[in-house]
Amino acid sequence: MKSSYQDTVEEVRNLKGIEEAIALAIEREIEARDFYLQKATLMDNPKFKELYEHLAGEEVKHIGYLEGYRDKKELPAISTEVPSGQSFSPEFDVSRTKVGEITPGDTGILLAAMRHERKSEDFYSEMAKRIEDETQKKFFEMLSRYERGHYEIIDSYLENVTQFRMQT
């Protein structure tokens, strides 16, 4: 049985050029944005709603970067330095979200979100490894780091509400 990472490696290997990679990345970022927006509408807890709205906004930025490259064949003039994941740190009001108050559904959504972010991180990381052009390599490395930051944000939410930390 192949791992998710092995699937990603194979998927990247089978891409027919940067244009196909960009198209696939845009498609996935749109799916992620829609997932987060849909989950935000279902949340009663304002901190979860805020998290999913934030992540949807991040995916919109990524779509913009990727579409800019697709349309202009130029990488966006953005810093390749990714701010610390602490730029959006969850502030849990313990009186609102206590250990045990998170529902299995909430946990499932967080885990699905983490899985998506990890797959995106792997995809961009694998693209960066296979690209010779240094500017394109840095672009994909930057996107990979953004996805890693999102994964860590979601993980910190999960840790706060379950007192459990994934080993990453």
pLDDT single digits (tens) 27-68: 999 999 999 999 999 988 888 889 999 999 999 999 999 999
Close Cβ partners of 27 (under 8 Å, ≥ 6 residues apart): none
pLDDT on residue 2: 58
**Residue 34: inside a domain:** yes
Domain holding 48, by residue range, is 4-73+90-162
The verdict on residue 28 lying in a domain is yes
pTM of the model as a whole: 0.80
Going by C-beta distance under 8 Å and a sequence separation of 6 or more, which residues neighbour residue 149?
82, 83, 84, 85
Instruction: List the structure tokens of 66.
Output: 């990727």
Domain holding 128: CATH number?
1.20.1260.10
Kindly list the distances between the CA atom of residue 19 and the CA atoms of 39, 69, 73, 155, 163, in Å, as whole numbers in the listed order. 30, 9, 9, 32, 42
* Closest C-alpha among 137, 154, 145 to residue 121: 145
Number of domains comprising the chain:
1
Sites in the chain below the pLDDT cut of 70: 1-3, 76-102, 163-168
- Considering the domain boundaries, does residue 122 fall inside one? yes
